[in-house]
Amino acid sequence: MKVLIVDNSGIIPAINYGGIERVIWGLGKELHKLGHEVVYLVRIGSQCDFAKVLELNPEQDLNSQIPDDIDIAHFSHTPLYDVDKPVIVTMHTNPPKEEVLNINTVFISKNHAKRYGSSTYVYNGLDWDDYPDPILNKERDYLHFLGKAAWKVKNVFGAAKITLESGNSLHILGGEKWNFRNLKRGLKYILNPKIIFRGMVNNSAKMEIIQYSKGLVFPVKWHEPFGLAITESLYAGCAVFGTENGSLPELITSEVGFTSNNASEISKAIKEFNYDPKRCHEYAAKYFNAKIMTASYVQLYEKILKGENLNNEVPKFIDKENIIPKFN
């Protein structure tokens, strides 16, 4: 089949930070390996050696940019306009209550789907060939935080508090040290020599840092839809310690980490955990790779092309499922 992948998140391939970009890159590559023809409709500046790239113009009518001969259009977010082709939408975010979703919306974790009255989900997978092989037999002597530290829901200062209580130092990847928010809310942490800000790092630098980390501290204060920081950290051999919000309890088993909505319990788990970098690495490589993800999407493509819908009714925000438990 001929698959059009549509996304306006960023340029592909991702060089520095890039979540959705890495997911759709792995998807396209695996579709190509399976013999499907892939076309990307993405931001200007993108390029690809295994698929045709079309430049997405957000100001232009979407239908006029979609090739006539594609079989299905795969969007990373709900398109703003009706599309004259079979459509599948992967919802990578937590859409607001008022957003009208597509009946062929796919979520990225079981919890994510449930919160919108759906049971259709596919875990994000990455092309691990794009990542350096981590060193798994070296001593690890710090923890790390990976994510957009400026987002309050990512709770970087909660991660700092947990880390210090556990007697460790924390390397923060994804945020700058000297900004107004940090000065206002986290001065005692940014002045602590055990809290080290590494800024926004590219993929190579990120993996170089986290492959010497014992674990990711991820006390998010929202329902995380999936969390590529989790699977990337696991691949690097890191355990993961986080809250019980969103997808975290699905992704983090007792063999590779710990979840709780109590900061002291997380700190205690960090001190007592039986660390095994090889086990964490193999878990991520086996279950969260682009090949498995793509096989699941192909099944969904085929279902849509038969004229079936992925959901019995249009997914909608469910109030009681979206209540965020208190973190203390």
Task: For the domain made up of 2-127+292-322, give the CATH fold.
Answer: Rossmann fold (3.40.50)
Per-residue pLDDT of the chain (328 residues; tens, 9 = 90+): 999 999 999 999 987 777 999 999 999 999 999 999 999 999 999 999 999 999 999 889 999 999 999 999 999 988 877 899 999 999 999 999 999 999 999 999 999 999 999 999 999 999 999 999 999 999 999 999 999 888 899 999 999 999 999 999 999 998 776 665 665 666 677 778 999 999 888 888 899 999 999 999 999 999 999 999 999 999 999 999 999 999 999 999 999 999 999 999 999 999 999 999 999 999 999 999 999 999 999 999 999 999 999 999 999 999 999 999 988 8
Q: Is 41 left (phi over 0), alpha (psi -120 to 50) or beta?
A: beta
Q: Do domains 2-127+292-322 and 132-286 have the same CATH topology?
A: yes
Cβ contacts of residue 252 below 8 Å, gap of 6+? 230, 240, 242, 258, 259
pLDDT the model gives residue 155: 94
Neighbour order of strands in the sheet with 2-6 = 52-55, 37-42, 2-6, 72-75, 87-90, 105-106
pLDDT the model gives residue 202: 82
Domain boundaries, the chain: 2-127+292-322, 132-286
Q: Could you confirm whether domain 132-286 is CATH 3.40.50.2000? A: yes
pLDDT the model gives residue 183: 58
> In DSSP terms, which residues pair with 89 in a beta bridge?
75, 105
pTM metric for this prediction: 0.95
CA-to-CA distance for 314 and 154, rounded, in angstroms?
A: 29
Tokens of 111: 């919890």
Q: Between the CA of residue 229 and those of 118, 148, 190, what are the distances in Å?
A: 24, 10, 22
CA-to-CA distance for 118 and 111, rounded, in angstroms?
A: 9
Tokens of 288: 């969260």
pLDDT the model gives residue 186: 64
